[in-house]
């Protein structure tokens, strides 16, 4: 390997994408050694990533879905948490967890989500400054956006929103596995109390909707999957939104063009998702002999599907390293593929569309106001700080 996919520092920025491009050029899958483990295969081309993600019978999620994750933790939640389960159990959990996210169900949330996002933008782009405003696009906007939406959908007390946002980020992004476990344990405890409360007094909220579609899930399984929904709803949108503001700040002509032609919003949102690809990889464990791209895999082998690399594959995306707001078709894999495709994808698209719509109305120019700061991790990738200067419209 010309790139150490286990080194967090490799992912601080975008240079790792160039090195993954070199991996794409190699025939077959590429073997990656592991100092304290058995090693794993790397799938970097679009077709190979899609093949791995679309066949859960051969490529299992039960042993964990990320490099550096805890095998013991995966064993505890296997076939109980949607993202760490295989068919047929995965389908039964997904029917319950996905019920509040169908197009029909989302209609009741649409106006609330749009109004919440608009209020957030109005708050951040304060009109009383009388000139350009310097803001941290991550801390002031992108990080609050999905946390505020999902907390509102769950009808959590507003005083708890900052705590939930911090625990969600720590449970997924913390470089210390113990800190990740502690944060997730605190989230589980929070949802245990919340589920008991909503079971006694159901309301018009996401938790109550999950309880109404309970199926055969135990309370423990509901707790685990509420946490999964919270995490999935928060991190992708956060990093995609921040990445979008980075692009529009670096290329102001794109922002001017979008404000002049808002009909480009749907394709722009899809390009933001492809371009940012916040979820870098998905880990799978082979269950039966299989050949991918000429590479023979055996039961017990681990394969990492690098979604970020697939979304830059020139065989599928012409001129993949250029941000093109009008790109069509755009069959990116930012939400995964196959049975494990993200149940919250519709909400994420709605949030990003509402964000850009509100910014188009309130912001004339987005300009850099300092150096961007990138997180260093090989699972979820994005900006942790982005100073921007917003000129109110």
Percent of the chain residues past pLDDT 90, beyond the cut:
70
CA-nearest of 57, 52, 56 to 40 is 52
**Domain count across the chain:** 1
CA distance 300 to 152: 42
User: Would you state the pLDDT for residue 177?
Assistant: 78
- Residue 271, in any domain of the structure: yes
- Residue 2, in any domain of the structure: no
Q: Which CATH number goes with the domain that contains 125?
A: 1.10.630.10
- Residue 139, in any domain of the structure: yes
- Residue 27, in any domain of the structure: yes
Contacts of 221 (CB under 8 A, 6+ apart): 80, 81, 93
User: Would you state the pLDDT for residue 217?
Assistant: 85
End-to-end CA distance of the chain: 49
Q: How confident is the model at residue 229 (pLDDT cuts 50, 70, 90)?
A: confident
388 and 367 in contact (C-beta within 8 Å)?
yes
Residue 2, pLDDT above cutoff 90: no
Q: Which residue reads 């589980």 in tokens?
A: 188
Per-position b or e across 52-77, b if 16+ CB within 10 A of its CB: bbebbebbbbbbbbbbebeeeebeeb
38 and 254 in contact (C-beta within 8 Å)?
no
CA-nearest of 6, 98, 12 to 376 is 12
User: Would you state the pLDDT for residue 62?
Assistant: 96
What is the overall mean pLDDT for the chain?
92
Phi, psi of 42 (to 5 degrees): -115, 120
What number of helices (H) and strands (E) belong to the chain? 14, 12
Q: Coil, strand or helix: which one is 207? A: helix
Segment 10-18 mean pLDDT: 91
H helical segments located in 251-344: 252-260, 265-276, 307-310
- Residue 3, in any domain of the structure: no
CA distance 277 to 132: 30
In this structure, what is the dihedral angle of CA atoms 191, 192, 198, 201, given to the nearest 10 degrees? -140
152 and 138 in contact (C-beta within 8 Å)?
no
Looking at the chain, how many residues does it have? 393
Q: Which residue reads 């909503």 in tokens?
A: 198
- Residue 137, in any domain of the structure: yes
Residue 128, pLDDT above cutoff 60: no
pLDDT in tens, 49-81: 999 999 999 999 999 999 988 788 889 889 999
User: Would you state the pLDDT for residue 387?
Assistant: 97
Percent of the chain residues past pLDDT 70, beyond the cut:
98
Residue 129, pLDDT above cutoff 70: no
Segment 281-305 mean pLDDT: 98
Domain of residue 226 covers 8-392
User: Would you state the pLDDT for residue 127?
Assistant: 58
Pairing type for strands 302-306 and 281-286 reads antiparallel
CA-nearest of 349, 313, 344 to 49 is 313
CA distance 8 to 240: 20
- Residue 1, in any domain of the structure: no
Contacts of 253 (CB under 8 A, 6+ apart): none
CA-nearest of 305, 307, 372 to 43 is 305
303 and 283 in contact (C-beta within 8 Å)?
yes
CA-nearest of 213, 200, 353 to 269 is 353
């Amino acid at each position: 390997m010309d790139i150490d996919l286990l080194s967090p520092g490799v992912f601080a920025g975008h240079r790792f994408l160039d090195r993954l491009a070199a991996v794409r050029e190699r025939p077959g899958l590429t073997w990656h050694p592991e100092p304290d483990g058995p090693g794993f295969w790397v799938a970097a081309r679009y077709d190979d990533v899609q093949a791995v993600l679309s066949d859960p019978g051969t490529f299992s999620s039960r042993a964990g879905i990320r490099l550096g994750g805890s095998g013991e933790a995966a064993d505890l939640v296997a076939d109980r948490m949607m993202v760490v389960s295989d068919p047929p159990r995965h389908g039964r959990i997904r029917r319950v967890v996905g019920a509040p996210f169908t197009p029909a169900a989302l209609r009741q949330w649409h106006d609330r989500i749009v109004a919440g996002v608009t209020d957030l933008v109005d708050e951040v782009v304060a009109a009383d400054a009388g000139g350009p405003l310097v803001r941290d696009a991550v801390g002031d906007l992108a990080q609050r956006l999905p946390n505020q939406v999902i907390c509102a959908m769950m009808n959590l007390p507003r005083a708890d929103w900052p705590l939930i946002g911090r625990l969600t980020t720590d449970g997924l992004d913390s470089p210390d596995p113990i800190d990740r476990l502690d944060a997730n344990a605190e989230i589980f405890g929070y949802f245990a109390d919340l589920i008991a409360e909503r079971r006694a007094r159901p309301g018009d909220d996401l938790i109550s909707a999950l309880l109404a579609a309970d199926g055969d899930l135990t309370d423990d399984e509901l707790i685990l999957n509420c946490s999964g929904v919270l995490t999935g709803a928060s991190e992708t949108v956060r990093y995609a939104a921040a990445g979008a503001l980075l692009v529009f700040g670096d290329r102001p002509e794109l922002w001017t063009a979008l404000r002049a032609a808002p009909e480009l919003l749907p394709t722009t949102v899809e390009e933001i998702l492809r371009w940012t690809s916040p979820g870098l990889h998905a880990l799978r464990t082979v269950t039966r002999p299989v050949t991918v791209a000429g590479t023979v895999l055996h039961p017990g082998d681990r394969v990492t599907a690098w979604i970020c690399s697939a979304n830059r594959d020139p065989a599928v995306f012409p001129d993949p390293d250029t941000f093109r707001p009008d790109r069509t078709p755009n069959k990116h894999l930012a939400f995964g593929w196959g049975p494990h495709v993200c149940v919250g994808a519709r909400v994420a698209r709605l949030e990003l569309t509402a964000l850009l719509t509100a910014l188009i109305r309130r912001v004339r120019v987005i300009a850099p106001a300092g150096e961007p700061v990138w997180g260093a991790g090989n699972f979820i990738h994005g900006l942790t700080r982005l100073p921007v200067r917003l000129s109110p419209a």
